[in-house]
A and B are shown apart, each in its own frame.
Chain A
Amino acid sequence: MKKLIPPIRAWTGPLTNDLVQHPGDFGLGRVPARLKPDDTTSMVCGFCSTGCGLNVHLKNGQAINLTPDPNYPVNLGMACPKGWEALTPLDALDRATTPLLRDGSGMLVPVDWETALQTFTLRMKAIMHEHGPESVAWLGTGQMPTEEMALLGAVAKFGMGIRHGDANTRQCMATAATAYKQSFGFDAPPFTYQDFEESDVLVFVGSNLCIAHPIMWQRVLRNKHKPEIIVIDPRKTETAMAATQHYALKPKSDLTLLYGVANLLLARGWIDRGYIERHTTGFDEFEALVAEFPPERVAAASGLPVAQIERLAETIGRGKRVSFWWTMGVNQGHEATRTAQAIINLALMTGNMGRPGTGANSITGQCNAMGSRIFSNTTGLFGGRDFLKQEHRAEVARVLGIGEHNIPTDNSLAYDQIVAGIGSGKIKGLWVIATNTSHSWIDQGTFNDLAKKLDFLVVQDMYHTTETAQRAHLVLPAAGWGEKEGTFINSERRFGLLKKVSRAPGQALADFHIFTLIAHYWGCGEMFRAWSSPEAVFQIMKELSRGRPCDISGIENYRMLDEKGGIQWPWRADDTELQTERRLFEDGVYFHPNGKAKFICEEPREMPEPVDSEFPFLLLTGRGSSAQWHTETRTGKSGVLRKLSPARIYVEVNFEDAERLGVAPGSTVRVASRRGALEATAFLTNTVQAGQVFIPMHYAQTNVLTHPSFDPYSRQPAYKACAVAVQKL
């Protein structure tokens, strides 16, 4: 009877029970009762290069939820929204679940793997047969495990004979890699995250750490030394707000400003002559060049008053442990390599290297940008080697047990050169893997026009809906993060482990398996018999690294990575007493043959597309929010992440400009460059300076506008400045 009469007040019931929490065990604290795991395992996140550890909650071996790993040395129990939502994109309805082949009517239709692989092989071989080995190229990614990159690089170059391959890491880290290589003799970011906590001065150049790398910002806040936090950025970003000093310089005046700071450091004697003499070369040329950068010149170029430039130099000069950090504001510039090196030069001349809380430190973009730099076998040979050097080719041939003749003697074309090659008719077949060129490539309109010229475009991706996949002749369905094993290398050189915690949908296969199958169908499978699993490849990578600066021969296996919370390179076979956090160059010995670091500098150049009367605004692009990742192929799949940023493309316009143009807040404006135009909602603000506008890079249209200019050394696209016009609609 009691059951039949509803209570006056229902304190319990099915709706209440839906949210009831129970102790999760496994050290988790309370979790929703229906998401109580029967096991947990830790793995690294697959978005950015911070490389956070995520504690995946498992039920019957499958992931049901996750929390940041409290024991992982990188993130100390924290994650950004993307990390928290890392599992959600795996369940998206637009996952590619079967290979898709474009049929006679132009539709992508499902086919089986057999057909897909036969088609891939036949068509690529036909192109290479007709137009030569240089007529096919691949564009890879910084989002794949290192082992998959290595297998791809080996299969494509040594097995299939493809000459040209590059990756979207060209868009994020090429500059840092090039700068380090030239300055230190090896692509070697010297820092460990502990340095954020040890500095008394932190200098961030072109880095919006608070939203781009929130978990690194966490480490800054753990700094107990009341540090001066300097942000050099044209915009008043979240990080600029949180800084103690913000220098809102004119866009692309960073190289001049950094030389100006060097000039003042020299003039005031705030340099470490001893360090310069013992550990560097090229200082005289550098000194001579920066003499040309007195404060007045720098003030005129940067728009900063002389007093501010002096304050900046003094803060750096008087710091005891100064660390310098840079991100895409530097890397994506027309003179990016020299700008990165200007930062390196400041660290070298002030002796801020190799000690806790110091360093010239590049914060990487993608989760495995560094894996790509060392092991992708694209523009550099395995293990940070050089295709041009015979002794390097011989080493690799010996380690892999292949003939030296299998190894190309030329470097690969860079991304932009591959795109240009499509235009010139040199490249006829393109294989795009886990990247979204049609969206992200600078001046996307040109690429999208050129893509029509391709005889065969293959896209290998988790989703069949990416802008690039929609243009493909063949789509290969890939398993994603969480559906396969491997390792990522984060910004501080830490190898972190990926595990298989979720079942890939349909016929989707790990990229590793796809490469194995392609090798098999191509007829070169035998050559990669030893590359039988990701962990087997890890053992091969160890051998490839032996004796190199990135030596990891001391890492026994995946189990060791799992137990130690990731391990930073180098870790040599004879090293003992593994410490969780290690930095490079503590002995002041660099990787050039003479053991010294090199000062490298060059007169600044005008930006490629300055504003003029027709296109009077400078367009800045960058990250919009912590909840968005690049072209949003994954973050766009999470309802929670979607609601954390505006759904529609918007442009930040300064109040004064808006008033002049008659643009009302929230109204739609047309933004046009010489390459194309888009419509966006105007957000009026004072955080961008007059004469500049800002559009987040995540929106599909943004790169319609950007200007295809490249740093000459790193070939990295200069996304951060182009001329546009803004018009009220």
Chain B
Amino acid sequence: MMPTLTLLDDLLAEQGSMTAVARFARLHERHELPMQARYYRDLIPLEQPADGEQYAFAVDLDACTACKACVSACHSLNGLDDEEAWRDVGVLFGGTMIEPVQQTVTTACHHCADPACMNGCPVLAYEKDAVTGIVRHLDDQCIGCQYCVLKCPYDVPKYNKKRGIVRKCDMCSSRLGAGEAPACVQACPNEAIRIEVVSKAVISARVELEDALVPGAFASDYTLPSTRYRSRKPLAANMAPGNAHDLTPEHSHFPLVVMLTLTQWAAGALCADFVMRTTRMSGQAMVMCAVGLALAGLGASAFHLGRPFGAWRAFLGLRRSWLSREIVVFGLWSNLALALAGSLFVTALPPSAPIVLAGGVAATGLLGVFCSVMVYADTRRVGWGLGRTSGRFFGTTLLLGLSMVAAFAGGVALCGAVAVVALLKLAWEATFLRLGDEPALRRSALVMRGPLRNVTMARFVAGGMGVVCALAAIFFPPLAWLALGCVALGEFSERYLFFTAVTAPRMPGRIL
């Protein structure tokens, strides 16, 4: 037995020893220049951009034939996490039965002249480099709010859950700075990707000539993307992305579902409180509840942040970001609401003080809801347009405010009003399920009727129950509480659908 064990042990030991370095001389002496440089030398500009110019990706679509090496290279050369890559490859299909056409499209950050990500960031975690025009993300500044993910129409910033921040392509700025090509440029076997210098005037002019970078991409006039896609063969007019029929729901951003519903509920209730206070009808209980809801809603939003401890920086983006404005206004609102709640217990104050305070709370609350509307309307997603979003958000504010008063104060008129408003909102939302011609809205409808069928059902059932209970409460007032519960449940589901059923614009994706 002994020799047997010895051989096995020998081989196990041999397997464990690393031999490549010892057995083979180092063939690669220290090089001044990267050895790869000879393949990419012509693919990067010799000089830095001048005033009014920036770097940009230029993609030769004729040479892009779906090898996807650029994606792997981005991952490996940037040392990214498991599935992380800042470049992606999609595909367009079109043409006729006789002459089918498919075109793969490699895509990364377009380093826009007017970057939506940067404009939306509440903490100024983005900067557009003054010289290169590269849109850089400051990882340590990021609070993980993911608003840039919603703002970018090309799906470029990617949330990294492990780290609690967003990360994105920086055109390998450190490589470019050292005269090296970005990873994707280095890795393309077909030389399909290059870096060029482009003037901002040209970027703006291009928008006039072409609606979008490629078929299926978002309208370029939103962010002025700098990437140029060129092809000798013009793409067929009917080209559609490989994922055109993908009905995968979007991320629910659940803390935001909670935040939006509760803040609007509270804002509505506090507005109602103000109206009633002027008629000396309001009491303490509803205000306390509403303030509690407001605080809970704002608290929930913190759970949406990957790095909530940086949230104090949120005022930095006030000049451009509706998210900053929302945070600041709701911050003020919550403090005023707390003051209002406190004022109800201080008998020494003049009787007008709570009314003034309540007026302030109501006004800032409505302003906050308006900011919420703008946060989403500003993303330019079709399903989040100003009309639809304000209808939903102010509708929720009105409906839950009324329902709250109906529950606390009762009354035929209030219960009737709840039923009418609830019914109108449901009827309006039912039109979202229509399969119209507008592609983004059509897809949303398909998502709500398909993969999100159950949530859609819940939304309408809960809302319908709310109507029924509100009507019944006319005759049996305690049912107003049940109506409030049903309406609230319906609004939560509505807000869940708001996030999950929206069509997020992105560059053409992979098939299915």
Which residues on A are within 8 Å of B, measured CB to CB? 6, 8-16, 18-21, 23, 25-32, 34-35, 39-43, 55-56, 58, 61-62, 65-68, 70-71, 75-81, 84-85, 113-114, 117, 210-211, 214-215, 217-218, 221, 236, 238-239, 241-242, 479, 483-485, 499-501, 503-504, 507-510, 513, 516-517, 520-521, 525, 558-559, 562-563, 625-627, 639-646, 648, 650, 654-656, 664-666, 681, 683-687, 690
Contact = CB atoms under 8 A, between A and B. Distances in A.
Question: Which of A30, A55, A645 has the most chain B CB atoms closer than 10 A to its own CB?
Answer: A30
B189 interface: yes
Nearest to A627: B68
Interface in B53-96: 62-63, 65-69, 71-73, 75-79, 82-85, 89, 93, 95-96
B380 to A, nearest CB: 26
B66 A626 contact: yes
Closest 10 CB pairs of A and B: A32-B79, A13-B140, A29-B34, A214-B67, A27-B31, A639-B83, A84-B72, A218-B189, A665-B245, A61-B18
Given A29-B34, A499-B24, A508 B66 contact: no
Contact of A241 (B27, B67, B101): B101
A500 B175 contact: no
Contacts of A483: 15
A41 B30 CA distance: 13
A12 B140 contact: yes
28 contacts: A9-B313, A19-B78, A21-B78, A26-B28, A27-B31, A28-B34, A30-B178, A67-B76, A84-B72, A84-B75, A84-B76, A215-B189, A217-B65, A217-B190, A221-B191, A485-B23, A500-B18, A500-B19, A500-B20, A501-B20, A503-B16, A503-B18, A646-B511, A655-B97, A656-B97, A684-B245, A686-B93, A686-B95
Contacts of B8: 113-114, 117, 517
Contacts of A76: 39
B7 A25 contact: no
B141 A241 contact: no
B512 A666 contact: yes
A41 B68 contact: no
A644 B68 contact: yes
B510 interface: yes
Contact of B20 (A58, A78, A238, A513): A58
A655 B7 CA distance: 63
Contacts of A239: 65
Contact of B190 (A15, A42, A221, A525): A221
B140 A67 contact: no
Given A58-B20, A215-B189, A626-B67, A34 B180 contact: no
A483 to B, nearest CB: 8
B33 interface: yes
B66 A61 contact: no
Contacts of A559: 24-25
A646 B510 contact: yes
B403 interface: no
Nearest to A655: B97
Contacts of B244: 665
Given A12-B140, A30-B174, A30-B180, A687 B100 contact: yes
B35 interface: yes
Contacts of B79: 18-19, 31-32, 34-35, 65
B87 to A, nearest CB: 11
B189 to A, nearest CB: 4
Contact of B18 (A18, A62, A525, A683): A62
A23 B172 CA distance: 13
A214 B245 CA distance: 28
Contact of A70 (B38, B69, B510): B38
Contacts of A479: 15
Question: Which of A15, A61, A562 has the most chain B CB atoms closer than 10 A to its own CB?
Answer: A15
B180 A639 contact: no
Nearest to A507: B12
A55 B24 CA distance: 13
B102 interface: yes
B77 A67 contact: yes
Nearest to B76: A84
A77 B36 contact: yes
A193 to B, nearest CB: 13
Contacts of A664: 245
A640 B97 contact: no
A211 B27 contact: no
Nearest to B248: A666
A25 B30 contact: yes
Interface string B347-386: 0000000000000000000000000000000000000000
Nearest to B28: A26
Given A8-B313, A241-B102, A646-B511, A562 B24 contact: yes
Contacts of B242: 683
A663 to B, nearest CB: 11
A686 B100 contact: yes
A535 to B, nearest CB: 9
Contacts of B73: 84
B35 A77 contact: yes
B451 to A, nearest CB: 10
A42 B33 contact: no
B77 to A, nearest CB: 7
B130 interface: no
Question: Which of B102, B124, B246 has the most chain A CB atoms closer than 10 A to its own CB?
Answer: B102
Nearest to B67: A214
B76 A65 contact: yes
Contacts of A217: 65, 67, 189-190
Given A665-B245, A687-B93, A70 B24 contact: no
B37 interface: yes
B5 interface: yes
Nearest to B66: A238
Contacts of B66: 210-211, 238, 625-626
A508 B71 CA distance: 31
Nearest to B191: A221
A713 to B, nearest CB: 34
B288 interface: no
Nearest to B18: A61
A221 B63 contact: yes
A644 B89 CA distance: 8
Nearest to B190: A221
B420 interface: no
Contacts of A66: 76
Contacts of A654: 97
